[in-house]
Structure formats: structure tokens, C-alpha cells
Amino acid sequence: MASFLCTLATSIEQLIALRVLQGIASGAEGVLVMAILCDLFDAKGQVRAFSIYRAACAVPPIFAPLLGAYVYLAFGWQANFALLAVIAAVVTVALWMFLPESRRPNQNHDSLRKVLSDYVRLLRSRAFLSLAVIMSAAIGFLVIFHMTTPFVLFEVL
């Protein structure tokens, strides 16, 4: 949805805000993938599944700038966000149709109070916060690199 909304941005401020929303939403992907793979596979299978997942994550950044440049030249900058929205929609539908439920049935369904107390405990954890800041900074630098590289290539080089 954030990618689609980026196509409708009428100012740089709107686009930046929507890109932040897009980044926050995409942050859930890494956590969900890890949880699902841990639920679906034993220890040996997890190693294989994580390797395949990481390899699959390494390929798009290689080809995305080239594809994005062609899409931009042919259809304008909004088309890149429209393409991302279509890809996200197709992947979402495929996951909904083919990915089995990975959470084991729980007789004691988590209450909202329990979930909120777990989040409070998590946010008080120095280890969690340290790792979250490190990972967020690493991903942030990667995103900044991808956002600024085209400008450097076109304007400086």
C-alpha cells in the first residue's frame, strides 16, 4: 500500500513520509520470515531455508537499479513505485494461497494485555534495543546508499 501511495505523492515531503512508511512496513518482512522459517523447519532445515532466503534477498539489489532506470526512462518515476506495488500484491496473494499456517495451535490464546506486557518487557531489554539499533542503522545505511547512488551517478559521475 505504501508503494502505491508513493505513486500519488505530489510533493517531496509526501514522498519522504511515504518512503519512511514503506521502510517501516518492509522491516516486518525480516522478522516474519525468520519466525515462519523457525516454525516450519527443524534446525538443519532452517540453515538451508535461511541460506536460500538470504541468497534470494541478495539478487534484487543487483538488478533493481538497472530495471528502475529503464522503468523511469520509459514511464516516469511513479512507475517504479507502481511496479513495486504490483510485485508486493502478487507476492502477498501467492503467500496467502500457498504458505501454510506456521503457528502451532495454542490453547491459551494470547490476550491483548499479555501481548502488550510482552512488548513492554521487550522494549526494556538492553540487549534487544542494542541489536535493534544496530540492525536499523545497518539497514538504514543500505537504504540511503540505494537512494543516493542514482543521484551521484547522474549528477557527479
Rounded CA separation 151/157 (Å): 9
Rounded CA separation 53/57 (Å): 6
Asked if residues 102 and 40 have their Cβ atoms less than 8 Å apart, the reply is: yes
Alpha-carbon distances, residue 27 vs 30, 90, 130, 143 (angstroms)? 6, 19, 16, 12
* 157 residues of the chain, pLDDT tens digit each: 999 999 999 999 999 899 888 888 877 787 788 888 888 899 899 999 999 988 888 888 888 888 999 999 999 999 999 999 999 999 999 989 998 887 766 656 667 888 888 889 988 999 888 888 888 888 878 878 877 887 788 887 7
Model confidence, pTM = 0.66
